[in-house]
Amino acid sequence: MTTRRQFLERTSAVATAAIVGRACAVAEPSSFGTPLPIPELRDARVGRGSIDLVAAEGQHAFVPGRPTTTYGFSAPYLGPVLVLHSGDEVQFSVENRLGRNTTVHWHGVLAPAAVDGGPHIVIKPGDTWRPVLKINQPETTAWYHAHPHGNSGRQVYMGLAGMVIIKDGTSKELGLPESYGVDDLPIILQDRSLDRNGALLYAPFGPGGMAGMRGDTLIVNGAVAPVAKAPAGIVRLRLLNAANARNFDLAFSDNRTFHVIASDGGYLPAPVAMTALTIAPGERFEVLVDFTSGNSVQLATAADTRGTTGMMGMGPGMMGGASGGGAGVLMRFEVDPSLPSPVKSVPATLVALPAPAPPSSISRRQISLDMGPAMMMRGMMGRGRGGMGMGPPVGINGRAFDMRRIDFEPKLGSSEIWEVTPNMMAHPFHVHGVIFRILSIGGMPPAPHLAGGKDTVLLDGPAELLMQFTQPATGRTPFMFHCHILEHEDAGMMGQYATN
């Protein structure tokens, strides 16, 4: 028998070896073995244009044989993968059996704010919400998750999240893998803190609370160190970081090259060859991995030190470094040559994607993601409350989130450049209701895999983001923009905009 501690020590040794890019001869953890859970697929067309979800409590065993109380959408933990077709109208129904308020946000799906599921669109216990969404955007991977005011961190942590696949036929045209669960795999990355009985711990506001809730157990689709069977060809991984706060710095244990084909908003112009990929909370990337060689491989993450550095006068222990954020193996792939694998090569090009060309007269807005001393000081100067008492003192432009305050009113149909500056640490910045383009990040043009459509971006330095507002929002149901570290969002690093 291997104890969990031994397992974690061994997996992190494997990951460290992998991440430094050495051939990795470390013994494999004996605990690999749970098959990668593949969430049920719900295609809106199969459901005659409707998708029904029930948010409820359940029991899920992260550690085999040790079930713990979780939340899920029509499942004990997480929810089905939803397939929506561009051009279709989809009738959703979301029943709340949680016994507390929730909301469900379609993150990355372009729809009017009235059906976006932000904090204003509360589903009370026992109620059913029935939004109709007209899907109209390029093929991509999006997701859905709980977004209640001040309680998103806890509810997503408990399991209220799932993947969305938007289809428009491009996969077929490009000859990309699209056989769900075979050569097209949902990979939902999270980290959790479990006690010795395997029960979920959510304690984000301890001494490590400034950097958000992080845990030392890495999970994929709700399982610890699962194994996926891969056909001996090209496999598409739909990577979603659904963690509350941690970034994953992904690489394969044999350091193999993979190709990024899509980001949040859809396909890139051409596959981008990479050996390491950072994915921040809220982000998605689709990658193609070549298993033709037949070799097994592990997907690992390096340590996420972004919550532990650059913080004035705060040591690693203060910022969540004490537990969570470490290097580790996420999962393992084993090749099964008997599985069908119709795709044998990576396409040379994907879709036409014009370079962003903002007019020089475009209006600009400054957005500062504030926390710590800067936020407290601004708070003291009377520009807003610091969000004290419900987590770290955080806000945007010196003010904590206020549901009754509309921060910006861009014109529907207009474009703007948002100049966003992170303070104290790296923050994943997310905007509802738009797919934006990165004009610059840290004073540089974006790397090729960040140059396509985005709705979430990890900011370690200032960035210029080109927004285009195509979806209406009102004062009653505005769109949110926020840090996707859910504890920062809950504590007030969020603002809202309506279109006029």
Residue ranges in 409-438 that form contacts with Cu ion under rule CB under 5 A: 427, 432
State in Å, rounded, how far the first CA of the chain is from the last one. Answer: 63
DSSP class per residue in 261-307: EEETTEEEEEEEEES-EEE-TT-EEEEEEE-TT---EEEEEE---TT
147 binds Cu ion, rule: CB under 5 A: no
Residue ranges in 141-170 that form contacts with ligand C2O under rule CB under 6 A: 145, 147
Give the C-alpha separation, 306 to 309, whole Å.
6
- Span from 71-79, 299-307, 434-442, 478-486 in contact with ligand C2O (CB under 6 A): 478-486
Query: Residue 111 to residues 108, 350, 496: CA-CA distances in angstroms?
Result: 9, 25, 16
- Span from 241-249, 260-268, 295-303, 479-487 in contact with Cu ion (CB under 5 A): 479-487
* Interior/surface letters 363-402, b for 16+ CB within 10 angstroms, e for the rest: eebebbbbbbebbbebbeeeebebbeeebbbbbbbbbbbe
Number of residues that bind ligand C2O (CB under 6 A): 10
Residue in 204, 482, 491, 497 binding ligand C2O, rule: CB under 6 A: 482
120 binds ligand C2O, rule: CB under 6 A: no
CB of 473 to Cu ion, least distance (A): 12
Which one of Cu ion, ligand C2O, none is in contact with 483 (Cβ closer than 5 to 8 A by kind)?
Answer: Cu ion
CB of 388 to ligand C2O, least distance (A): 23
Structure tokens at 52: 């029904």
> What x/- string results for residues 402 through 441 when contact with ligand C2O is judged by CB under 6 A?
----------------------------x-x---------
Compare residues 42 and 430 and give the one whose CB is closer to ligand C2O: 430
259 binds Cu ion, rule: CB under 5 A: no
- The residues near 148 (Cβ < 8 Å, ≥ 6 apart) are 101, 102, 103, 119, 122, 155
488 binds Cu ion, rule: CB under 5 A: yes
Which one of ligand C2O, Cu ion, none is in contact with 482 (Cβ closer than 5 to 8 A by kind)?
Answer: ligand C2O
CB of 31 to ligand C2O, least distance (A): 31
- Span from 87-95, 201-209, 235-243, 478-486 in contact with Cu ion (CB under 5 A): 478-486
Residue in 51, 55, 485, 486 binding Cu ion, rule: CB under 5 A: 485
Which one of ligand C2O, Cu ion, none is in contact with 104 (Cβ closer than 5 to 8 A by kind)?
Answer: none
Cβ 278 vs Cβ 248: under 8 Å: yes
Cβ 418 vs Cβ 365: under 8 Å: yes
CB of 362 to ligand C2O, least distance (A): 25
Do the bridges between strand 284-290 and strand 258-263 make them parallel or antiparallel, or are there none, so unpaired? Answer: antiparallel
Query: Residue 484 to residues 118, 244, 261: CA-CA distances in angstroms?
Result: 13, 8, 23
The backbone torsions φ and ψ at residue 14, rounded to the nearest 5 degrees and listed phi first, read -60, -45
The backbone torsions φ and ψ at residue 28, rounded to the nearest 5 degrees and listed phi first, read -80, 145
> Residue numbers of the site for Cu ion (CB under 5 A)?
107, 427, 432, 483, 485, 488
> Residue numbers of the site for ligand C2O (CB under 6 A)?
105, 107, 145, 147, 282, 430, 432, 480, 482, 484
